[in-house]
Amino acid sequence: MMNKEQKKNYITEITAQFENSKAVMVTHYQGLTMVQLDDLRSKMREHGIIFRITKNRITKLALEKTKCKDLSNLFTGPTAVAFGEDAIMSARILSKFAKDNQNLKLIGGMMENEVLDQAGVMNVASLPTLDEARANIIGILNASASKLVSILLARSEKMSSLPTENSETKPKE
């Protein structure tokens, strides 16, 4: 049980996390073992994401003062929240972990200022990350440039292999 001072500190801390995070993903974790939770936390920590088990009643109080107040209805049952800067990476790690561990349920979240339901979180998980999108664009640009060069070279090779007026041989008289 938390005393009054601990509750105040918890509310201050969790309010700051909700306000400062660009991505907030809410999950239910009932049935996961401590080993599984530690494994998930370490995977998320590698990408700068904080995965935290919450106290619902106090968290709802903290939510009232934040941009994430619309998520308040998701805080029922054993709830944990992922706080991070990259919504795609958060959703991707959680959805992959949920596929392997049926006891983790993605129930919603927030990306920037947009509230996501469960389907929205799964859609975000399927998007390419910023680095992947950049790599795709570079690949497309490189492919276009190399195709253009090969077309130009092929034309010039054909043109150089065509007989010219001077190179024709005239029959001897």
Statement to judge: residues 107 and 156 lie in one domain: no
Confidence at residue 142, expressed as pLDDT on a 0 to 100 scale? 76
Q: What is the CATH number of the domain that holds 103?
A: 3.30.70.1730
Considering only residues 65 and 68, tell me which one the structure prediction assigns the higher pLDDT.
68
What stretches of 21-162 show up as alpha helix (H) in DSSP?
34-45, 56-63, 87-100, 118-126, 130-161
Q: Is residue 99 part of a domain?
A: yes
Q: How many domains is the chain partitioned into structurally? A: 2
Statement to judge: residues 40 and 26 lie in one domain: yes
Q: Is residue 167 part of a domain?
A: no
pLDDT at 80 over 90: yes
Give the span between the Cα atoms of 116 and 123, in whole angstroms.
9
Statement to judge: residues 81 and 38 lie in one domain: yes
- What's the whole-model pTM score? 0.72
Statement to judge: residues 94 and 136 lie in one domain: no
Give the structural domain span for 94.
4-127
